[in-house]
Amino acid sequence: MKSSNPIELIGLRNIMESFFIFLFYGAIIILIGPFFGVDLTKDLPDQYSNLIQEPVSISMFALLSGIPLLLIFLIGILKGEKTIHHPLILKYVLPFPRTGLCAGAIIVGMLLGLGIMLWLITLGCKQGNLTSTAIQLIGLSGYFFLILLLFIILYLYLLYPWRKKIRILDIVSLSYLFMITLAMAFF
Model pLDDT for residues 59-81, shown as the tens digit of each residue: 777 777 888 888 888 888 888 77
Read off the pLDDT of residues 130-158 as tens digits, 9 standing for 90 and up: 888 888 899 989 988 988 988 888 888 88
Contact 104, 14 (CB under 8 A): no
Q: Which among 49, 78, 31 has a CA at the least distance from the CA of 140?
A: 49
The Cα–Cα gap between 55 and 58 comes to 10
Q: Are 118 and 30 in contact (CB under 8 A)?
A: yes
CA distance 3 to 1: 6
What is the per-residue pLDDT for 1?
Answer: 47
pTM over 0.75? The answer is: no
* Between 128 and 16, residue with greater pLDDT: 16
- Dist CA 105 CA 23 (whole Å): 9
| Predicted pLDDT at 18 | 81
Summarize the confidence of residues 35-43 as an average pLDDT.
Answer: 67
Between CA 117 and CA 123 the distance in angstroms is: 10
**Residue 27: partners with Cβ closer than 8 Å, 6 or more residues away:** 113, 114, 116, 117
Residue 10 DSSP label: T
DSSP assignment of 75-124 equals HHHHH-HHHHT-HHHHHHTTHHHHHHHHHHHHHHHHHHHHHHHHHHHHTT
- Say yes or no to pLDDT of 43 above 60: no
